[in-house]
């Protein structure tokens, strides 16, 4: 079955991709239509916290296609496969993309539970979702106008919103202290194992992009132990705060 057929005529304005621990936002979609990835020929993640389905409906009055779960390079998928969901959403009408992730903080003033809007990224995976001479200008990949709208949305929600550069690595191992020191030198504020391929694909298709990291742990000088359970726990407690920011932001992406 094609996604168009599964959506039964529904046309989303915005694709919203939910990262680890953030899946509960899909429960707030009004008049939901649930489409498992497997039903429309899309790959399904093996990672806890990634349910593997689209939820179509309205959120904050905006027609959305919520991607509840994603796939990753470290699961054995290619960069092009990781970005399959973005291509599918664009094909059914989505014109904007809100991407979220759980990330490790690098900047000294970040703390677990902080929310960060992305202003740029470092693709350090040595792979791309694009094939052939698909030369895409990534200047302003994270729409500056939407960054400003995100800050306004956070103010409405009563939330502090940091901003910075996200470094995308392949994983699945968490970073060594030396790798974190390298990322600081390169200008990264947070690090994770997703997002960069999806954003590149979205820009290649002309979608406007707003990106957010939920900081689940912070790497301090000398090394800080990290585990997936911590990522999920912080995501569960701070995720509703990011959800509130997105509720205020979505109307800026509609139409």
pLDDT in tens, 199-237: 999 999 999 999 999 999 888 766 566 656 666 677 677
Per-residue pLDDT at 128 exceeds 90? yes
Closest listed residue to residue 54, CA positions, set 79, 103, 91, 80:
91
Residue 31 CB coordination number (10 Å): 8
Taking only Cα atoms into account, the Rg of the chain, rounded to an integer number of angstroms, comes to 17
Mean pLDDT value across the chain: 91
Closest listed residue to residue 70, CA positions, set 33, 118, 102, 106:
102
72 is catalytic: yes
Residue 48 CB coordination number (10 Å): 12
Catalytic residue among 101, 123, 128, 217: 217
Tell me the C-alpha distance between 193 and 49, whole Å.
Answer: 14
Per-residue pLDDT at 49 exceeds 60? no
- DSSP secondary structure string for all residues of 201-240: HHHHTT-EEEEEEEEEEE--TT-----HHHHHHHHHHHHH
Catalytic residue among 75, 175, 198, 244: 75
* 144 touches 99 (CB < 8 A): no
Catalytic residue among 26, 83, 88, 102: 102
194 is catalytic: yes
193 is catalytic: yes
217 is catalytic: yes
Q: What is the pTM of this model?
A: 0.93
Indicate the class that CATH gives domain 3-252.
alpha beta
Q: What pLDDT does residue 225 have? A: 64
Q: What pLDDT does residue 155 have? A: 97
Catalytic residue among 26, 193, 204, 210: 193
């Amino acid at each position: 079955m094609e996604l168009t057929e599964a959506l039964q005529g529904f046309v989303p304005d915005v694709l919203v991709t939910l990262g680890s621990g953030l899946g509960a936002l899909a429960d707030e979609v009004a008049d939901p239509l649930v489409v498992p990835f497997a039903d429309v020929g899309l790959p399904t993640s093996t990672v806890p916290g990634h349910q593997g389905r689209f939820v179509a409906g309205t959120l904050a009055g905006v027609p959305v296609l919520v991607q509840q779960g994603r796939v990753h390079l470290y699961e054995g998928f290619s960069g092009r496969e990781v970005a399959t969901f973005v291509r599918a959403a664009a094909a059914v009408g989505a014109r904007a993309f809100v991407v979220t992730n759980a990330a490790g903080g690098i900047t000294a003033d970040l703390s677990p539970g902080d929310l960060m809007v992305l202003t740029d990224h470092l693709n350090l995976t040595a792979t791309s979702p694009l094939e052939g001479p698909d030369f895409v200008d990534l200047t302003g990949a994270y729409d500056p106008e939407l960054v400003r709208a995100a800050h306004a949305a956070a103010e409405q929600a009563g939330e502090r919103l940091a901003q910075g550069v996200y470094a995308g690595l392949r994983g699945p191992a968490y970073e060594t202290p030396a790798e974190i020191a390298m990322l600081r030198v390169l200008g990264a504020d947070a690090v994770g194992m997703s997002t960069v391929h999806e954003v590149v694909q979205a820009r290649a298709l002309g979608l406007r992009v707003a990106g957010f990291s939920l900081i689940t742990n912070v790497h301090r000088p000398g090394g800080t132990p990290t585990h997936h359970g911590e990522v999920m726990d912080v995501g569960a407690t701070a995720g509703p705060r990011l959800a509130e920011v997105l509720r205020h932001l979505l109307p800026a992406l509609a139409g």
